[in-house]
Amino acid sequence: MSPVPRRLDVLEAVYDRLASRVVVTIMGAVAAELQSIGHRPNFFYLQHAMGLASSLGLGIALSRPDQQVVVLDGDGSVLMNLGGLTTLARYRPRNLVHVVFDNESLLSVGGFPTATSTGSDLAGIAAAAGVPRTATVRTRDDFVRAFDEALAANDLTTLVAKVEAVGPSAYVTGLTLLENRFEFQRHLRETRK
């Protein structure tokens, strides 16, 4: 099988789409890499509480149906909140796109393999939970295509992107957690009709 892309390259490929959406990420590499491309007030990085980024995205999506929400999740985080997939599917927010970067490892704590490395299929689990649109992609171009389709679909999508288990050299960034949180809240307030 050909090598899977780096997450940073995938993020760069769709950064212009993210710039105009409400984005919630998990902790660690995803947060640091997105910030390295460019932080925006509509980006919120949940730097702990593994598993809850998708729940937080659901809370925003239900509260603000006028906004399209993109959650950038990871395999380790999703595995900590598999039940959350059933809640997502149950309420089926049509304004939420759930991306799972699957590097098959807990990278930031030393790269220990997760259960997706031994075959657990997160898109399959999401589909079985009732998420109406699911896919697994293995190349940058396939990701961009599937992500654009998800943004246009007007329905809940869980898109699993297989990526290489590489990340940034450091995870702590110059953006403090609370600064990000209050700026993000203010952004959502200012976009309310």
For other proteins, which is the closer residue by CB, 22 or 123? 22
For other proteins, which is the closer residue by CB, 3 or 193? 193
With both helix axes pointing from N to C terminus, report the angle between 53-63 and 82-91 in degrees, rounded to the nearest 10: 10
- State how far the Cα of 51 lies from the Cα of 25, in Å rounded to an integer: 11
In angstroms, give the least distance from the CB of 170 to other proteins. Answer: 20
For other proteins, which is the closer residue by CB, 40 or 181? 181
In angstroms, give the least distance from the CB of 57 to other proteins. Answer: 6
Handedness of CA 126, 4, 25, 75 (dihedral sign): positive
The pairing of strands 133-137 and 69-74 is: unpaired
Q: How far is CA 159 from CA 28, 62, 70, in A?
A: 20, 20, 11
For other proteins, which is the closer residue by CB, 46 or 135? 46
Strands (E) across the chain are located at: 22-25, 43-45, 69-74, 96-102, 105-106, 112-113, 133-137, 157-162
For other proteins, which is the closer residue by CB, 9 or 65? 65
Within 10 angstroms of residue 117's Cβ, the number of other Cβ atoms is 14
Residues that bind other proteins (CB under 8 A): 24, 44, 46-49, 51-64, 67, 81, 83-84, 86-87, 90-91, 177-178, 181, 184-185, 188-189, 192
In angstroms, give the least distance from the CB of 13 to other proteins. Answer: 26
In angstroms, give the least distance from the CB of 34 to other proteins. Answer: 17
In angstroms, give the least distance from the CB of 64 to other proteins. Answer: 5
What is the DSSP secondary structure assignment for residue 59, as one 8-state letter?
A: H
